[in-house]
Amino acid sequence: MRIETTKILAALPGMGVELWRGVLLAQLTSLAIGGTTDLLRISRHEAIPELLNLLDENGIAHKFLGGGSNLLVVDGELPFVVLQLSHPNPDLVVEGNIANVDAAADLGKMVTFCAKHNLGGMEGLIGVPGTVGGALRMNAGAYGTQIGSHVREIKVYKAAARKIETLKGDQISFEYRHTSFAPDDMMLAVKLELPSKPYSEILQGIRICNEKRRASQPLGQKSAGCIFKNPVGASAGRMIDELGLKGHSKGDARISDRHANFFVNSGRATATDMLGLINDVRERVQKVYGVTLENEVVVWNA
């Protein structure tokens, strides 16, 4: 979708919003899949309510992009524009046991920055690609760590109220890869409360998690992490593996040989290939195990 409305185009510079024309989302997603649209890069949180009012008044649909690492976008010209926060400087500040982090900050950078300030508790998240905002929205987790457990406060654009609000950690429910935020709420910044730990000890934890991840996940390949959520008490990866589906493919969308819940783009996979593979696997698992796997990857359909 291209923004042609003169009123919007004229207002963007004053709001600190940069317009990137006709961006191919395949270049902004870890799966390297996705069609074309206009991208609005936001440098001031305070401009968001006004920007979204303008878009709504002019019937321009929008979606928020974080780091694009847990996302499958359909191909072709997209019927919505995409909004993304640009990094402020600094995007990370530590005060005692509190890390003040902008949602646009890189998750891994945040973990190591906190570690250098002797703040731990996030070791398991090392190696999870994406932004802090994306991790908050999904309550990202790995190796026993979930980001939601450390949230003291979140600054968020609440779409329903059309305003920026600050929520306390206990006003938000963080569950397994799910939060109480509405799909069109936008994470802006967070205060994380982290336990003090010596840097050397945190580094050791980080090394252990890195090794586990390297041994079990296809890190160098184009993927969106795990495609399906784990059903209660079971592992989606193990089920798909037990069905002998490693290496199974549709076009260039392929089930990883290393971890069966990772689907990789081994060349020029399209969204249709990837969605076809996802549906195929869901049907096979349903047939044999009687379990309907739920997507963990976020899908932006047209």
Where do the DSSP E strands lie in the chain?
Answer: 17-24, 36-42, 62-64, 71-73, 81-85, 92-95, 98-102, 141-142, 145-146, 151-158, 163-168, 174-175, 178-179, 186-193, 223-226, 249-250, 253-255, 262-265, 298-300
**DSSP three-state, residue 219:** coil
State which residue, 81 or 224, has the beta carbon closest to ligand EPU.
224
| Measured distance CA(46)–CA(225) in Å, rounded | 32
Q: How many of the chain's residues bind ligand EPU (CB under 6 A)?
A: 16
Chain position whose Cβ is nearest to ligand EPU? 225
User: By CB under 6 A, which span of 8-16, 25-33, 192-200, 227-235 interacts with ligand EPU?
Assistant: 227-235
Phi, psi of 211 (to 5 degrees): -65, -45
Cα–Cα nearest to 28, from 64, 61, 54, 53: 64
Length of the chain: 302
Q: Which helix (H) or strand (E) holds 238?
A: helix 236-242
Per-residue contact track with ligand EPU, 143 to 162, x per CB under 6 A? x-------------------
Query: Is 18 designated active site?
Result: no
Among 27, 216, 286, 301, binds ligand EPU (CB under 6 A): 216
| Catalytic-labelled residue, pool 177, 209, 254, 282 | 177
Q: Residue 235 interacts with ligand EPU (CB under 6 A)?
A: yes
**230 binds ligand EPU per the rule CB under 6 A:** yes
Judged by DSSP in three states, 179 sits in strand
The reply to whether 289 sits near ligand EPU by the rule CB under 6 A is no
- The smaller minimum CB distance to ligand EPU, of residues 238 and 268, is found at 238
- Residue 282 CB, nearest approach to ligand EPU (Å): 14
CA distance 105 to 85: 9
Query: Given strand 223-226, what is the order of strands in its sheet?
Result: 223-226, 262-265, 253-255, 249-250
Give the one residue of 238, 283, 286, 288 binding ligand EPU; rule: CB under 6 A.
238
Q: How far is the CB of 210 from ligand EPU (least distance, A)?
A: 12
According to the binding rule CB under 6 A, does residue 51 interact with ligand EPU? no
Catalytic residue among 114, 137, 209, 296: 296
C-alpha pair distances (Å), 29 with each of 20, 24, 55, 70 = 16, 10, 24, 8
Is the Cβ of residue 80 or residue 143 nearer to ligand EPU in the bound state?
143
In DSSP terms, which residues pair with 174 in a beta bridge?
179
**Shortest reach from residue 23's CB to ligand EPU, in Å:** 24
226 is catalytic: yes
Region binding ligand EPU by CB under 6 A among candidate stretches 25-33, 60-68, 191-199, 225-233: 225-233
| CA dist., res. 50 & res. 163, Å (int) | 9
User: Which CB, 24 or 298, lies closer to ligand EPU?
Assistant: 298
Chain residues in the site for ligand EPU (CB under 6 A):
142-143, 216, 225-226, 229-230, 235-238, 241, 259-261, 296
Question: Catalytic site residues?
Answer: 177, 226, 296
